[in-house]
């Protein structure tokens, strides 16, 4: 489970606890099949914008499931990025031959969704030069530039884990 702490779910009480607080969990097969059968059925998913995890595609609005962003989303991404290429920094204001593209960071063909968090402005040259088309470095750079985590995230995570441990001790 990629180094994350998880709960081990052996009973219905454990399952209720997990539903209330969330987090990672290992659930015994019999309990999962009897209580979570609808969640175990195959369904269409999309990759989350951070390229980690998945989202139930049915829960997404139609505009996030289509390939091309709406005009409004496209303009918001271009504006957010200062109407310049995120990689080379060139802008049509200084280079009249430059064409800007709105690129899916997690490619649409690989399950990436069409929302601002998964889109970035690239010039035609940089966009055409991406090989492979999915670049993990681009994911991390865009996320840290446009969507920085709050500095107290780790503190909040540790507080949550401590509360879970306390409750688990009380239940034991």
Find tokens 């989350």 and name the residue. 48
Per-residue pLDDT of the chain (172 residues), as tens digits, is 456 677 888 998 888 888 777 777 888 999 988 988 887 788 777 777 665 667 777 777 777 777 789 999 999 999 999 999 999 999 999 998 999 999 998 888 888 889 898 899 999 999 998 877 777 777 778 777 776 665 566 676 677 777 777 777 777 6
pLDDT of res. 151: 57
pLDDT of res. 76: 95
pTM: 0.59
Contact 127, 98 (CB under 8 A): no
58 φ/ψ angles, rounded to the nearest 5 degrees: -65, -25
Find tokens 């999915």 and name the residue. 134
């Amino acid at each position: 489970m990629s180094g994350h702490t998880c709960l081990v779910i052996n009973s219905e009480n454990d399952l209720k606890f997990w539903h209330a607080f969330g987090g990672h969990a290992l659930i015994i097969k019999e309990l999962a099949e009897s209580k979570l059968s609808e969640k175990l059925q195959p369904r269409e998913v999309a990759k989350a914008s951070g390229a980690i995890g998945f989202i139930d595609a049915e829960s997404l609005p139609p505009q996030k499931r289509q390939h091309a962003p709406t005009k409004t989303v496209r303009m918001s991404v271009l504006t957010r990025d200062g109407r310049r290429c995120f990689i080379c920094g060139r802008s049509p204001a200084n280079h009249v031959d430059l064409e800007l593209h709105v690129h899916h960071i997690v490619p649409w063909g690989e399950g990436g969704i069409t929302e601002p968090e998964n889109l970035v402005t690239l010039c035609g040259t940089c966009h055409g030069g991406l090989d492979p088309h999915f670049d993990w470095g681009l994911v991390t750079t865009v996320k840290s530039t446009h969507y920085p985590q709050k500095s107290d995230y780790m503190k909040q995570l540790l507080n949550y884990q401590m509360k879970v441990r306390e409750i688990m001790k009380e239940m034991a």
